[in-house]
Amino acid sequence: MVEYRRHPELNQIFSALADPTRRAILQTLTQRSATINEIAKPFPVSLNAISKHVMVLERAGLVRREIKGREHHCWIDPRPLREANTWLEHYRQFWEQRLDALEVYVAQKFKAAKKGITYGKLH
């Protein structure tokens, strides 16, 4: 049996990053902290939609919020980004090796196609 539930928080992080508006909100917050109104301004969607996106980012730990009177100040917490990066880095050596192999494979395929030979899959 595989052990595959060790990083439940990665589910929320990757899920939060899977939306272009949320990635753009993070980009905005790398410049400076901002209120929900300030965050929403450049987007062609409702304030309510932006507020929901911010909530998803909050649940993933990517955004922190502080309420001051009627204003909600948001800022980015970069730790989950580092965590996602750590997970991906685990595959770096693999993809570097594999991409070299892929180049060789594609070159072979290309040559074979020219000569009418069929090659097996890359492995």
Kindly list the residues in this chain that would bind a second copy in the complex (CB under 8 A).
Answer: 1-2, 4-5, 7-8, 10-15, 17-21, 23-24, 26-28, 30, 32-33, 42-44, 64, 66, 73, 75-79, 81-82, 84-85, 87-89, 91-92, 94-95, 98-99, 102, 121-123
Give least dist CB 3 to a second copy, A.
8
CB of 28 to a second copy, least distance (A): 7
34 neighbors 27 (Cβ within 8 angstroms)? no
For the bound state, the minimum distance from the C-beta of residue 46 to a second copy, rounded and expressed in Å, comes to 15
Going through 1-123 in order, the beta strands assigned E by DSSP cover: 34-35, 63-68, 71-76
H or E element, residue 88: helix 79-89
Alpha-carbon gap, residue 99 to 75, rounded angstroms: 37
